[in-house]
Structure formats: structure tokens, C-alpha cells
Structure 1
Amino acid sequence: MPKASTKRYYRIDRREVHFLKFILEGYSGVAVMRTLDPQNGFVVLYVSPGCEKEVDMILSDLKGQIRIEKAELLEREGL
């Protein structure tokens, strides 16, 4: 039975939502991003099983270019 994807919630610079989505799409099958609140930059990443470290590396590299922070409150609320 395949594992389920992992949800990760982030707040990013709202002007960079499309940029992050574009970057993630370049890594086919690693993660899918959904925008929860475009005005405030809240997004959720559905990370494919086994791709967690790769997503961590991608986001770590991007932190030098755009604001990316974990949205702990959204994660606890399970949106």
C-alpha cells in the first residue's frame, strides 16, 4: 500500500507564490503546492513519500532569495 503524502504549511512572500510553484513543478513528482491564502502568502505543500529531504534542500536553497517560514499554527489547525 502506498504511503500518503505529507502536508507542510508555510508562509512565503505573497509576491513569490507563483515563483515557488514554478520551482516545485520543475521537480516533477516531488511536491504539489496549493495556495491557502494568497493575500498573506499561506501555502501547503503535499510532499510525496520519500521526497521530504529533497523538498527540505529546495526550500533551504530558496531561503536566500525569498521569505519562507513554517506556518505552525496552520499545521496545528489542520487546514
Structure 2
Amino acid sequence: MIQVCCTAGMSFRLSGRSTMLLKQASGLRIVCRAGTLWISEYRRFDDSVLQAGESVTVGSDRDVVLSGLPDAQVALIS
């Protein structure tokens, strides 16, 4: 697992079975540029699955885990 402090403007690829932990992600918009992306917020019961072109904005300061299903191109936007 890769762990980063949210860096807006960052773009990366999550290949099969790779995960990324985002800390202090409040207000960050997560964009799936290609592939399929799974998003899970700590202590939240509903996960999100994004397809290419879809995005979600993190509404809390909880930790967020990202994973490609199986691969995803991801951008983080403030």
C-alpha cells in the first residue's frame, strides 16, 4: 500500500491489486480518468465505484483507500 498526504494536482495509475491511502483528504476531488476505481472512506458504510470520467469529492477528513478494479488512471484535484 502506498500512503501519501493529499497532493492536489497529482495524477497516477493504480494497477491491479495496488491500493493507495489518502490522509486528510477533505474537499479533495478524486477523478477516474480511465478504467474503474474503487473508493472507500474509513467508517463509512457505502463505498464508491467510479468509471472513466466520473468523480467524487471527499466530504470529511477520514482516511480514504483507492484501488483499481483492476486498473485505474486517477487524478486528485483541489
Greater fraction of residues in strand? 2
TM over 0.5: same fold?
no
Structure number with greater CO (CA < 8 Å, separation at least 6) is: 2
* TM tier relative to shorter chain: 0.3 to 0.5
What is the TM-score when the length of structure 2 is the normalising length? Answer: 0.37
Greater fraction of residues in helix? 1
Larger radius of gyration: 1
What is the TM-score when the length of structure 1 is the normalising length? Answer: 0.37
